[in-house]
């Protein structure tokens, strides 16, 4: 899924069209600012310093942003809904029974601590009994049907070059730390993480009954397999090269070109019907897996598979397993000091397994229908503003502009919640079975659901790729759709009790951000129908690339931590989206307030309040470990740079705050990014 989301995003207020509400307050709270900071020196601190000081990191957080504060509220609402069901005995098979039952299982630590790792013992024994490479491949396929992935992944998603149809796809995978750098890089912080990982892997073997020497040997086997896969894996940056991650072939060609993997057993055990075409999205790591399966000693392959099962299960077994996994993944890798309370994890588990069912209840209770109407109007205003900005671009020919307008006018807009709800009748939650076994069932149910819905089928533009309670938004290039779930349509993102300056600076920029993804370095390669097809004249395309390079170079030079630079290529799409989002929302804001300009409120002009609202959205406190991790894997820039890196390229920001050449954030006009 090549979704572009806003990730940690933010605030929105009233719409321009609600003229009757003109005396709305500014929505600005000066306590959130740090008035002793200077806008031209550190706008991030100026707009959000007060909020950051008032919200220091608690032990459970590695990063705490405005976004997380809203998530806390959301989670409490969901908890109330779910716990109501968990305290009742609903009829077996009802949604209430499924939700309540799964939550009870997730909360029952007494039972899980008594069970230890018993729920996965039969899986581990099956691996122990493997006698040949052929049997090993069978076990890989069987585990994948239970939701345990190992050497690689597969799925079914839109065909990038024929977006009306879904296409089977094979993806790289198989490395638990998630990014090749963790296995290969030689800098001190990464080496420390790698050493801690080895200890963690070894520990899981000891905890499941191996003696120290056997656990040491098993760990070395795991590291051997994962490091080999990592060496051939694509970096996060390379994964953003759309054309380079598309290799469509017939099923026959797959069997011929990748003979080292038992594909037919894999698809058979996963219930995948016969199909004609498939894309091996990253061929090199898949070829490496073929070699690994043929060359690595069988015992090491078994150790690797064994680790995949235990590592995947840690959150579903006794507390000591969860603690081991928290200690490595959340503490060592991200910097969190303390695990989330059990109820938060339980709410998360229910959301993961039955998210749309919970979402339906959530919108019925918490989402006002009026929000949908206001959002539709806002989206329309933003669409109009983007159209105006496309017309204004002097570097673009009329021919390309015409195509851009067609794409803009074809946006498919989703707001709040889906029209039809997912059917969970095929999922059975049985409290006589372990929590682990029930979660495996949920995973199997979901996997079969998408196989039935997608393999050999046309794509479904009405399908929602986020649950309604999610606090986020996305653009999907293959459907040319923008989606704003109910979760994000509340303060501080969307605030009916504040004026347009506040709202356009927050949710307005979110909308503009998602729209701009249709025209970022990746989105611009897809046409209005969602096909990977070039619609640019060669000259315009050159111009566009030259302009995006200014953005890439600027972010490449940002020092996130001493000695650690940002990755301008990895974050290019998101930085373009922030840039476009700001320009488009500002234009829409000006259009909306043209007839009745907003005056100064609370000592700030409307233009200043627009940018202050934007800046506050990204206020956050983040631990150093988390900053290092995000710098490797996150296509979004760190919050500080979504403010201090984005605004210096927006002309209107200079005017609003009278930013001068002598200010540290000043960028000469000729060097500013100028795209949308
Ligand atoms: Zn984005």
CATH number for the domain spanning 547: value is 3.40.390.10
Cα 542 to ligand 1 centre (Å):
23
| 216 & 291 share domain | yes
Are residues 30 and 538 in contact, defined by beta-carbon separation less than 8 angstroms? no
Cα 476 to ligand 1 centre (Å):
10
Cα 585 to ligand 1 centre (Å):
15
| 151 & 263 share domain | yes
| 283 & 393 share domain | no
The burial class, CB within 10 Å (0-12 / 13-18 / 19+), for 369 is: exposed
* pLDDT at site 237: 96
φ, ψ of residue 171 in degrees (nearest 5): -125, 150
Cα 354 to ligand 1 centre (Å):
26
* Cis preceding-peptide flag for 68 (omega within 30 of 0): no
Q: Pinpoint the alpha helices (H) of 281-341.
A: 283-295, 298-313, 319-325
Cα 577 to ligand 1 centre (Å):
6
Pairing state between β 277-280 and 162-172: parallel
309: in domain: yes
| 51 & 126 share domain | no
Cα 474 to ligand 1 centre (Å):
7
Are residues 286 and 254 in contact, defined by beta-carbon separation less than 8 angstroms? no
Query: In this structure, what is the dihedral angle of CA atoms 597, 602, 604, 605, given to the nearest 10 degrees?
Result: 0
| 242 & 136 share domain | yes
Residue among 29, 147, 2, 69 nearest 613 (CA):
29
CATH number for the domain spanning 264: value is 1.10.1380.10
414: in domain: no
Query: How many domains does the chain divide into?
Result: 2
Cα 593 to ligand 1 centre (Å):
27
| 244 & 385 share domain | no
Picking from 316, 334, 360, the residue at the C-terminal end of a domain is: 316
Q: Can you tell me the distance from the alpha carbon of 547 to that of 9, in angstroms, rounded to the nearest whole number?
A: 25
456: in domain: no
Length of the chain: 676
Residue among 510, 526, 527, 506 nearest 474 (CA):
510
* pLDDT at site 14: 31
347: in domain: no
405: in domain: no
Are residues 192 and 507 in contact, defined by beta-carbon separation less than 8 angstroms? no
* pLDDT at site 10: 28
Cα 4 to ligand 1 centre (Å):
5
Cα 595 to ligand 1 centre (Å):
32
The burial class, CB within 10 Å (0-12 / 13-18 / 19+), for 20 is: exposed
| 375 & 273 share domain | no
Are residues 230 and 289 in contact, defined by beta-carbon separation less than 8 angstroms? no
Q: Can you tell me the distance from the alpha carbon of 638 to that of 631, in angstroms, rounded to the nearest whole number?
A: 8
238: in domain: yes
Cα 510 to ligand 1 centre (Å):
8
| 255 & 375 share domain | no
Cα 161 to ligand 1 centre (Å):
22
Cα 447 to ligand 1 centre (Å):
26
* pLDDT at site 477: 97
* pLDDT at site 16: 34
* pLDDT at site 5: 67
DSSP letter for each residue of 255-287:
HHH-TTS-HHHHHHHTTPPP-SEEEESSHHHHH
Cα 365 to ligand 1 centre (Å):
29
Cα 358 to ligand 1 centre (Å):
25
| 151 & 278 share domain | yes
Question: Which tokens in the block code for residue 663?
Answer: 């200010």
Within 10 A of 57 (CB to CB), how many other CB atoms are there?
Answer: 18
Strand partners, 309: none
503: in domain: yes
Are residues 327 and 51 in contact, defined by beta-carbon separation less than 8 angstroms? no
Q: Can you tell me the distance from the alpha carbon of 320 to that of 326, in angstroms, rounded to the nearest whole number?
A: 10
Cα 478 to ligand 1 centre (Å):
15
| 262 & 388 share domain | no
Cα 83 to ligand 1 centre (Å):
34
| 282 & 388 share domain | no
In which domain, by residue range, is 568 found? 29-58+369-397+495-521+540-671
Cα 498 to ligand 1 centre (Å):
25
- Per run of 10 residues, the mean pLDDT along the chain (length 676 residues) is 51 34 81 98 98 97 94 96 94 96 98 98 98 98 96 98 98 98 97 98 98 98 98 97 97 98 98 98 98 98 98 98 98 97 98 97 93 92 97 96 97 96 97 97 96 97 96 96 94 86 96 96 96 96 97 98 97 98 98 94 97 96 97 97 98 98 98 94
Picking from 272, 287, 316, the residue at the C-terminal end of a domain is: 316
Residue among 283, 278, 191 nearest 234 (CA):
283
Q: Can you tell me the distance from the alpha carbon of 630 to that of 618, in angstroms, rounded to the nearest whole number?
A: 15
Cα 158 to ligand 1 centre (Å):
20
| 225 & 131 share domain | yes
429: in domain: no
Are residues 505 and 613 in contact, defined by beta-carbon separation less than 8 angstroms? yes
Cα 614 to ligand 1 centre (Å):
15
Are residues 269 and 145 in contact, defined by beta-carbon separation less than 8 angstroms? yes
Cα 359 to ligand 1 centre (Å):
23
Strand partners, 159: 162
pTM of the complete model beyond 0.85: yes
* Cis preceding-peptide flag for 266 (omega within 30 of 0): no
Cα 514 to ligand 1 centre (Å):
6
Pairing state between β 412-416 and 481-485: parallel
Q: Can you tell me the distance from the alpha carbon of 78 to that of 362, in angstroms, rounded to the nearest whole number?
A: 7
Picking from 316, 335, 352, the residue at the C-terminal end of a domain is: 316
């Amino acid at each position: 899924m090549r979704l572009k989301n806003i990730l940690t995003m933010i605030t929105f207020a009233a719409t321009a069209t609600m003229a009757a509400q003109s005396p709305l307050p500014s929505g600005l709270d000066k306590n959130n600012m740090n008035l002793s900071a200077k806008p031209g020196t550190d706008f991030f601190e100026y707009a959000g310093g007060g909020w950051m000081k008032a919200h220091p990191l608690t032990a459970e957080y590695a990063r705490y942003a405005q976004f997380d504060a809203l998530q806390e509220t959301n989670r409490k609402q969901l908890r109330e809904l779910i716990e109501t069901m968990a305290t009742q005995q609903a009829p077996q098979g009802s949604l209430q029974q499924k939700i309540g039952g799964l939550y009870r299982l997730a909360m029952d630590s007494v039972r899980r601590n008594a069970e230890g790792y018993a729920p996965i013992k039969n899986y581990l024994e099956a691996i122990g009994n493997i006698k040949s490479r052929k049997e090993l491949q069978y076990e890989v396929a069987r585990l994948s049907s239970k939701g345990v992935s190992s050497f690689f992944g597969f799925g079914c998603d839109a065909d990038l070059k024929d977006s009306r149809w879904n296409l089977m796809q094979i993806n790289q995978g198989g490395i638990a730390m998630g990014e090749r750098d963790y296995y290969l890089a030689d800098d001190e912080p990464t080496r420390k993480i790698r050493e801690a990982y080895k200890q963690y892997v070894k520990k899981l073997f000891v905890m499941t009954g191996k003696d120290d020497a056997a656990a040491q040997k098993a760990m070395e086997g795991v590291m051997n397999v994962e490091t080999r896969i990592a060496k051939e894996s694509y970096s996060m940056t390379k994964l953003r090269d759309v054309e380079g991650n598309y290799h469509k072939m017939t099923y026959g060609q797959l069997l011929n070109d990748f003979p080292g993997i038992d594909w037919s057993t894999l698809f058979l055990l996963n219930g995948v019907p016969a199909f004609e075409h498939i894309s091996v999205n990253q061929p090199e790591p898949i070829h490496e897996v073929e070699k690994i399966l043929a060359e690595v000693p069988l015992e090491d392959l078994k150790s690797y598979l064994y680790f995949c099962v235990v590592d995947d299960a840690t959150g579903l077994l006794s507390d000591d397993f969860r603690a081991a996994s928290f200690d490595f993944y959340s503490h060592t890798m991200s910097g969190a000091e303390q695990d989330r309370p059990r109820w938060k994890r339980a709410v998360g588990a229910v959301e993961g397994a039955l998210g749309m069912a919970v979402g339906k209840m959530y919108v019925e209770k918490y989402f006002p229908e009026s929000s949908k109407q206001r959002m539709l109007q806002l989206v329309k205003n933003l669409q109009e503003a983007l159209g105006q900005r496309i017309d204004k671009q002097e570097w673009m020919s009329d021919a390309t502009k015409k195509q851009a307008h067609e794409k803009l006018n074809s946006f498919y807009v989703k707001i709040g919640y889906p029209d039809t709800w997912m059917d969970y009748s095929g999922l059975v939650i049985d409290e006589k079975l372990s929590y682990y076994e029930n979660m495996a069932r949920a995973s199997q149910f979901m996997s079969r659901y998408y196989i039935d819905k997608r393999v050999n089928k046309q794509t479904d533009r009405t399908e929602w790729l986020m649950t309604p309670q999610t606090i986020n938004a996305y653009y999907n290039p293959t459907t040319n759709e923008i989606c704003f779930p109910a979760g994000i349509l509340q303060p501080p993102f969307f605030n009916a009790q504040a004026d347009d300056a506040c709202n356009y600076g927050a949710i307005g920029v979110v909308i503009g951000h998602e729209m701009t993804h249709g025209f970022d370095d990746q989105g611009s390669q897809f046409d209005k129908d969602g096909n990977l097809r070039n619609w640019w004249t060669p000259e315009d395309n050159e111009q566009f690339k030259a302009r995006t390079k200014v953005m890439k170079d600027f972010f490449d030079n940002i020092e996130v931590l001493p000695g650690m630079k940002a990755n301008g290529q990895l974050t290019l799409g998101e930085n373009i989206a922030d840039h476009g989002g700001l320009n488009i929302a500002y234009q829409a804001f000006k259009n909306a307030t043209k007839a009745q300009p907003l005056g100064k409120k609370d000592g700030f002009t409307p233009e200043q309040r627009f940018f202050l609202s934007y800046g506050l959205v990204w206020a956050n406190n983040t631990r150093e470990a988390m900053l290092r991790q995000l710098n490797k894997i996150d296509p979004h820039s760190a919050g500080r740079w979504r403010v201090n890196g984005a605004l210096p390229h927006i002309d209107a920001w200079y005017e609003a705050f009278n930013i001068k050449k002598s200010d540290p954030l000043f960028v000469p006009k000729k060097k500013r990014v100028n795209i949308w």
